[in-house]
Structure 1
Amino acid sequence: MPDRAPQPVDRQLPTEESRDLIALVRDVVQGEIVPRAAEEEDAGHFPREVFSLLSEAGLLGLPYDSGLGGGDQPYEVYLQVLEELAAARLTVGLGVSVHTLACHALAGYGAKEQQTEHLPAMLGGGLLGGYCLSEPASGSDAASLRTRAVRDGDDWVITGTKAWITHGGVADFYTVMARTGPEGPRGVTAFLVPGDAEGLTAAAPEKKMGMKGSPTAQIHFDGVRVPDARRIGDEGQGFTIALSALDSGRLGIAACAIGVAQAALDEAVAYARERRQFGRPIADFQGLRFMLADMATQIEAGRSLYLAAARLRDAGRPFSRQAAMAKLFCTDAAMKVTTDAVQVLGGYGYTADFPAERYMREAKVLQIVEGTNQIQRVVIARHLAGPESR
């Protein structure tokens, strides 16, 4: 069964321009994403053509400077665009979030010459990015990464393996964190590596329980040579850059989670209105009505939380704690809401004939990516009580 078009959400948008932007996104969603989402996810098809369309429409660089190819949009607006895209198909919404994450290092820490040379193509020239931080043996403990970059004249030679890379094997560029100094966070440096660099290869995509249309793969660096002009920031600044990017990226995951949860709620409400038992729609039964009410409340609370964090970011105020809270709450809410949506549909919810089971499988990964929810609790606790004593 094809997915339903997402129900319009009454959004808090600050300008007429942002309202027009959401209208454009909804046109793209209804015309280009929803009609093929279920079929393409089932087939494991990566919708590169959709990302090309989003780039042409100026939707791949929304929170960045228009002078460099971006859209000059505040995070408050950008995140609501992500939610709309994720409600239609998480492969697309999360893909835009990851691409934005991959552009963050250069946009925030790159030299002006680097930004002028690379960002227009990255933000609006049809390119798609990947973000290489995690490794097979270093996920949450990212400071222990082993991929190494060694200086050789005016170049750096990168050797190692990155893991769990969204867009692995299909990205046009990767923002790569590699060790250039001693062990620990101070020995990490960021690089901008072309996707077709000699010595860079992708393993076969992981076989996942959800998001089958989004390739996730290990990326191998076998003596990949990168000029020093592609080093981002100072030597040893990479871990700081990575943490800065993740704060913003976690808000992207939170928005995607609310999008998936909203899609699941829309499906559950529509089914409950149509399905009749004992002579009346099942939506008339109090037990089920209370489930729907709880689902809607979780979604509204999550949306308010990620928007509040985005407004702090837009105002230039610290938002790391609020970003961790938003990622934690919104992804846990998405897992609960999608599970309840399957329950509302009963036996049909457990079949692939309806999208509820897909939403449930997709919601799970959002509790894991860009810092597990256990790590989010560590981040929040540190802001409340300070780092653990040793």
Structure 2
Amino acid sequence: MFRSAAFRACSSLRPRSAQVARGFSTSRCIRSDAYVPTSLDTFTEEEQMLREAVRRFAVDVVGPKVREMDENEKMDPSIIKGLFEQGLMGIEIDPDHGGAGSSFTSALIVIEELAKVDPSVSVMCDVHNTLVNTIIRKHGTKEQQDKFLPLLAESTLSSFCLSEPASGSDAFALQTRAKKEGDHWILNGSKMWITNSYEADIFLIFANIDPSKGYKGITCFIATKDMGIKIAKKEQKLGIRASSTCTLNFDDLKIPVENVIGSEGKGYKIAIEVLNEGRIGIAAQMLGLAQGAFDKAVPYTYQRKQFGQPIGTFQGMQFQIAQAAIDLEAARLLTYNAARRKEEGKPFTKEAAMAKYWSSQVAQRVSGSAIEWAGGVGFTRETGIEKYWRDSKIGAIYEGTSNIQLQTIAKFIEKEYS
């Protein structure tokens, strides 16, 4: 199993059990001689082993199916199953609930490595881990955690339902309403642009229980598909086409009162908190995407000859490749800086916005350049290079547009200097 190598890095420090053995690593594996990273792009031995394990899974298992999934606009069920089998869908979930008990940085490593091969698979894993799992881990009751976390770690895909037709960047202008009737909440409304929703069976839904209170009426609910969630439309998209994006309808959706996450009216706070973390996940996805395009196109420039020499040795090409490498390194440092700050309990909202903004910009530039470096071959679908460019555009849109990131950064600057 691909997860075994990373898991062995800490296996001698804790008892093995059937549940723990499912995980690929632990979050705080510390020996007296453990190496502690001193720079942002230096990783522990355990993190490097994880990276290699995920890279092999991405190349060997995901890679052969990328073009077919993109053409069919459908995620292969075997890929979803494989992610669960490798322990990659419960990265931060405690081993007692069947997860790996690993770190946020480990989650980003997984997201980045998957994106190098297929950003569609990467975002599916990202949303499941950094949004849904995180909310239930941090805000769920013990009963909710005991019921849902084992499923989320081992078998059941999830979806995060916030956006609506009338609430995009203004994400909390929600029209979905919830009314309490006895021991249930009755939800009515719709959600739009919902990732993973076609394949998911567990949903976190944000609805307003008291519109007179504005955002303070927003509440988060756990629902399952069999409660009556209806998929109204599956979007046909420019990029990340294998990742499902659907419109959902809720017509008198009946949810037990014990399925409220946190408490009534705490949905806004929960969503803001998790989206700040989620933006680092998108930064990692865009970083991996850009690196994947770079890794595919650059070798070609040293194989293709024109005017008696490899095109990659012409100064004009060398300068473009060097600039792309600099942009990639800057994106990497911003992304893992935000991640380390988050793990250390330091403020990271501004850094997350910077990482998400810059990585999405770099993804578009590098993937676009990669097509040009490969010329006509890069423009064809056969090589897969053009797919990175199509997939890159979403980075400037979801989990906060580029303008929203700039606005967030500007507010911190204003606060510091005004």
Alpha-carbon offset, residue 267 of structure 1: 1.6
Matched residue pairs, number?
Answer: 376
Q: Percent identity?
A: 38
- Which position in structure 1 is the counterpart of 2:219? 189
Match of 2:139 among 109, 112, 129: 109
Partner residue in 2 for 1:172: 201
Other structure's SS at 1:298 match: helix
Corresponding position of 1:325: 354
Counterpart Cα distance in 1 of 2:93 and 2:331: 25
State the secondary structure of the residue aligned to 1:170.
coil
Alpha-carbon distance between aligned partners in 1 of 2:42 and 2:67, rounded to the nearest angstrom: 29
Asked whether the equivalents of residues 103 and 175 of structure 1 are also in contact (C-alpha less than 8 Å), the reply is: no
List runs of 5+ in structure 1 lacking aligned partners. 1-9
Residues 186-225 of structure 1: pairs in structure 2 closer than 5 A: 186-198=216-228, 200-225=229-254
Report the TM-score, using the length of structure 1 for normalisation: 0.93
After TM superposition, the score normalised by the length of structure 2 is 0.87
* Between 43-52 and 215-224, the greater mean CA deviation after superposition: 43-52
Q: CA deviation at 1:86?
A: 0.7
> In structure 2, what is the equivalent of residue 162 of structure 1?
191
Q: Hey, what's the Cα distance between the residues in 2 that align with 1:39 and 1:270?
A: 24
* Residue of 250, 255, 258 corresponding to 2:279: 250
Contact 2:120–2:243 (CA<8 Å) still a contact in 1?
A: yes
Partner of 2:378: 349
Q: Which deviates the most, 104-113 or 330-339?
A: 104-113
How far apart, in 2, do the equivalents of 1:236 and 1:371 lie? 22
Question: Given the superposition, is the C-alpha separation of residues 275 and 357 from structure 1 closer, same or farther in structure 2, using an over 3 Å criterion?
Answer: same
- 5+ residue gaps, structure 2: 1-39
How is 1:128-143 mapped onto 2 (pairs within 5 angstroms)? 128-143=157-172
Question: Following TM superposition, by how much is the alpha carbon of 1:239 offset from its aligned partner in structure 2, in angstroms?
Answer: 0.7
Q: Which amino acid aligns with 2:141?
A: A
2:320 is the counterpart of 1:276: no
Give 1:144 deviation, angstroms. 0.7
What secondary structure sits across from 1:371 in the alignment?
coil
Amino acid in structure 1 at the alignment position of 2:353 = A
Distance 1:18 1:348 in 2: 35
What's the counterpart of residue 59 of structure 2? 30
Query: 3-state SS of the aligned residue for 1:204?
Result: strand
- Note the alpha carbon deviations across 1:15-73, whole angstroms, 9 max, x for none: x4333322221221122111221232122231222121111221111123222232222
Deviation at 1:11, TM superposition (A): 6.4
Counterpart for residue 121 of structure 2: 92
Q: Shift of the alpha carbon at 1:302? A: 0.4
Q: Is residue 363 from structure 1 mapped to residue 382 from structure 2 by the alignment? A: no
**How far apart, in 2, do the equivalents of 1:77 and 1:366 lie?**
21
1:138-168 C-alpha deviation (Å, 9 max, x unpaired): 0110111100110001100011000000112
SS at match of 2:46: helix
2:92 match:
63
Q: Give the equivalent residue in structure 2 for 1:6.
A: none
What amino acid is aligned across from residue 105 of structure 1 in structure 2? Answer: I
Correspondent of 1:120 among 114, 139, 150 = 150
SS of residue paired to 1:239:
helix
**Preserved CA contact (<8 Å) 2:235 2:244:** yes
Q: How many Å separate the matches in 2 of 1:182 and 1:202? A: 25
The 1-side partners of 2:98 and 2:408 are apart by 33
Provide the C-alpha distance between the structure 1 equivalents of 2:332 and 2:76, rounded to a whole number of angstroms.
27
Matching residue within 322, 325, 338 for 2:367: 338
Alignment partners' CA distance in 2, 1:327 and 1:118: 29
Q: 2-side partners of 1:57 and 1:351: how far apart? A: 33
What secondary structure is seen at the aligned counterpart in 1 of 2:101? Answer: coil
